[in-house]
Amino acid sequence: MAKIQEMTQLSPTMEEGTIVKWLKKEGDSVSPGDIIAEVETDKAVMEMEAFESGVLLKILHTEGAKLKVGQALAVIGKPGEDISSLLAGIPKNEPNQTKVETAHSKETQTSQPSVSVSTPPLPSSNKSETKQTSINSVTAVAAVTSGTSVSSVAEFIEANRGGLRVLASPLAKSIAIEHGVDLHTVIGTGPEGRITKKDVLNTLSQGSRSTQFASKGTTRADEVVTLNGMRKTIAKRLTESKQNLPHFYLNVDVNAKAMESFRSELLEFQKHLEPELQVKVSLNDIIVKAAAAALRLHPKVNASFQGDSILQFGRVDVGIAVSLDGGLLTPVIRGADGKSILEISKEVKELAKRARERKLKPEEFSNGTFTISNLGMYGISRFTAIINEPESGILAVGSVEDKPVVENGAVVAGRVLSLTLSCDHRVIDGAVGAEFLRTLKSLLEQPSLMAGVI
């Protein structure tokens, strides 16, 4: 008997999936465990398995179709089996198609040039005055496009400003109308602030044009981009986190000189290893190791709010935020507190590579206990991050910058790293978070201490 293959939930947060590629075609034999298609979820491109034995009798949706979890995807049955009644019983819900639309997809056909006018707000005591100003501006442009002389238009605008005159010479007004310059944006240098020809020309030379003619094609059209599954999930989960979790933030500056020296020593040490054992350790790898060690020492931070209780994790699984085209993922380093910096470095690079290729498995980017987000490579000094539920903390890492520091009572040139810890106040109190950061700061400023907590 033929059965329907549904869009299955391939990740814990998946609500819909997009068919990227069919790996089987109609008429192909399949059995449970065979990969029949590649599906893009909210996190990655994943493989969909068949759950029945038989022949792929019917593919119900083409590549690129977006289906809700549970929606009919294909029909599997015996060769030559009549599936007409089965197809008739499938709901006629069309999958959502991802489209990119522009707000100006249709052009208005007209014999007159298309004009776009930007008029700054004028002081007004009521709505009728504002409305009148808008009408006057549109009428003035209509006068320009219909062939009315520039001087007449200038007089028209002057007479219809509702008594709010702009002091400008006739020639300045003519040039402003001709080039679409709003005289409200021009600073006059003449007597009593009167706008002269020179003032308008200076504004034009500086590229300050508040009115653009659409026929010249200088304005980029609006574009509406449909959210993909990943962006929808990010929007939903981070909004919920920010609204539901009482965030508070703690910041600390770290003297990064010792950490940078430690990294240089690690890189030098690896030169004596076999090529396959060598890995380019980054400062972020050292931070991950130090944070994992600090989490082991401060289990109250490595915890999750559970409604009527708090779960303190026995494991230390650190998620690393990885930027992707169209979103981000947080691949997780399992048992990071028990791994060496070289092991962490190698694993981070491998997971990040596969994350960008959308090839991570759900267990590789879910169920972490703490997250680290690093924007230092973009030159960001410091920032605050939103907690990734159900975790209770996330560490935001900024760039290492040259700043004066005090050493042995003297101010010297230093290398300073800024760290910001976002905390869920239901789980982490201020003093608890501060103690965690103090430990982390000590481990980074004295990397040899990490040997005592590995």
Residues forming the active site: 425
Both tokens assigned to 81: 């089996």
Listed in sequence order, the DSSP H helices in 357-388 are none
Q: Where are the beta strands (DSSP E) in 203-255?
A: 223-225, 247-255
Of all helices (H) and strands (E), which one includes residue 405? strand 393-407
Name beta bridge partners: 424. Answer: 247
Q: Where are the beta strands (DSSP E) in 7-95?
A: 16-22, 29-30, 35-40, 45-49, 54-59, 65-68, 72-77
Terminal CA-to-CA distance of the chain, rounded, Å?
58
Q: What is the dihedral of CA 280, 283, 289, 291, to 10 degrees?
A: -160
> 186, 199 in Cβ contact below 8 A?
yes
Closest CA to 22 of 78, 52, 65, 51: 65
Q: Count CB atoms within 10 A of the CB of residue 60.
A: 17
Helical axes 341-356 vs 257-270, angle rounded to 10°: 90
Q: Which residue has the tokens 């549109």?
A: 138
